[in-house]
Amino acid sequence: MQFLFRLLRNNLFPVTFILLLGISLAQVLRFNLYQESFYFNSSKNILNTTARLQNSVGAYFKLSDENKALVAQNQQLLNSGFQNVMPTDTNIFVVKDSNGAKRYEYQVAHVIKSNTRLRNNFITIDKGSNNGIKKGMAVISPVGIVGLVFDVTENFSLVLPVLNSKFVTTPMIPEIGFREGSVTWNGLDPDLAQLNYVNKFENLKPGMKILTSNYSIKFPPGVPIGTIKTVKKKATSSFYEINIKLAVDFKKIGYVFVVKDNFRAQLDTLQVQEDQLNVP
């Protein structure tokens, strides 16, 4: 025992170093292995107030891009409305009633902090549990998907965007009935995401629009992810190498919508039952 103490005292410098390194590495491992957030919470509310102040200045420079995105979305909404439908066949008529259940509700939030430079980036928005935001909700912008809510405090939430190693979603291309593979980001160019695990005999071409799948329970179906930029065949692999130009410019992101899925609880219950059945 005495020997141990003497050893510790003689090597106090390396021991202190290992202690401090351990404290910080524990954080890194926690994130990378267990996907839990730890001190994201601790300092959020104080520091985010300053970030919001800074953003109130920066927001003015993004206004023109925001306007363009909102005008495009308005146009799309106008085009998709029922008021444009005029029955040409007199035997068919459209019944408008309030019988259906509303599935998705959207809430506007303001991005106060975002980063695109790291491998694992995060976005902070100024709505939290006080506004009914919960972990796992989808976040979309007027032009496409942004990410998922990763952590919530009372007034702020942390969003895990597409530009993070932990982000995965399933795509769909309705024109060719394509629903496979997964969209991830390789950590290099913040404009380009990757579409993996797509078999070489699928007829994919550059320029095709990729939307969120209706098989995904994370995102509402039909939200743009991006357009295919390059499709490469590799001799050693049975899959394509596909780059997607993301619909959202994460460097200029300003306003987002947080999507509340009213059927999420029902879907989760079914998922639990499915998991129980699959237990060997």
Partner 1 sequence: MFLDILRYIFIGLLLVLLQFYLVQEVNFGTWIKPLPYIYLLFILPFQSNKFLSLFIGFALGFFLDAISDTYGMHAAAGVSLAFIKHYVDKGLIDIDAIQLQGYSYLTPGWKGFRFYAVYTLLLIFIHHFIFFSLDYFKLSSFFLIMAVSIFSTIVSFLFILLFLSVSGRR
Q: How far is the CB of 2 from partner 1 (least distance, A)?
A: 24
Shorter beta-carbon distance to partner 1: residue 43 or 83 = 43
Shorter beta-carbon distance to partner 1: residue 161 or 220 = 161
Annotate 74-94 with three-state secondary structure.
HHHHHHHCHHHCCCCCCCCCC
Please classify residue 209 by burial: count the beta carbons closer than 10 Å to its beta carbon, then call 0-12 exposed, 13-18 middle and 19+ buried: middle
- What are phi and psi for residue 229, nearest 5 degrees? -100, -55
Compute how many other C-beta atoms are within 10 angstroms of the C-beta atom of residue 131.
16
Shorter beta-carbon distance to partner 1: residue 160 or 223 = 160
Q: How far is the CB of 108 from partner 1 (least distance, A)?
A: 22
Shorter beta-carbon distance to partner 1: residue 107 or 165 = 165
Positions in the binding site for partner 1 (CB under 8 A): 12-14, 16-17, 20-21, 23-28, 30-32, 37-40, 42-43, 47, 51, 54, 113, 115-120, 122, 124, 158, 165, 187-189, 251
Q: How far is the CB of 64 from partner 1 (least distance, A)?
A: 19
Annotate 236-267 with three-state secondary structure.
CCCEEEEEEEECCCHHHCCEEEEEEECCHHHH
Q: How far is the CB of 50 from partner 1 (least distance, A)?
A: 9
**CA dihedral of 148, 79, 71, 209, whole degrees rounded to 10:** 50
Q: How far is the CB of 13 from partner 1 (least distance, A)?
A: 6
Shorter beta-carbon distance to partner 1: residue 161 or 181 = 161
Shorter beta-carbon distance to partner 1: residue 5 or 13 = 13
Q: How far is the CB of 149 from partner 1 (least distance, A)?
A: 14
Return the sign of the alpha-carbon dihedral for residues 91, 96, 99, 104.
positive
By the 8 A CB rule, do 225 and 183 touch? yes
Q: How far is the CB of 57 from partner 1 (least distance, A)?
A: 11
Cα(234)–Cα(13) distance, integer angstroms: 51
Q: How far is the CB of 31 from partner 1 (least distance, A)?
A: 5
By the 8 A CB rule, do 121 and 135 touch? no
By the 8 A CB rule, do 44 and 156 touch? yes
Name the DSSP class of 102.
P
Shorter beta-carbon distance to partner 1: residue 120 or 182 = 120
Shorter beta-carbon distance to partner 1: residue 126 or 261 = 126
Cα(137)–Cα(115) distance, integer angstroms: 20
**Residue 17 tokens, joined:** 């170093």
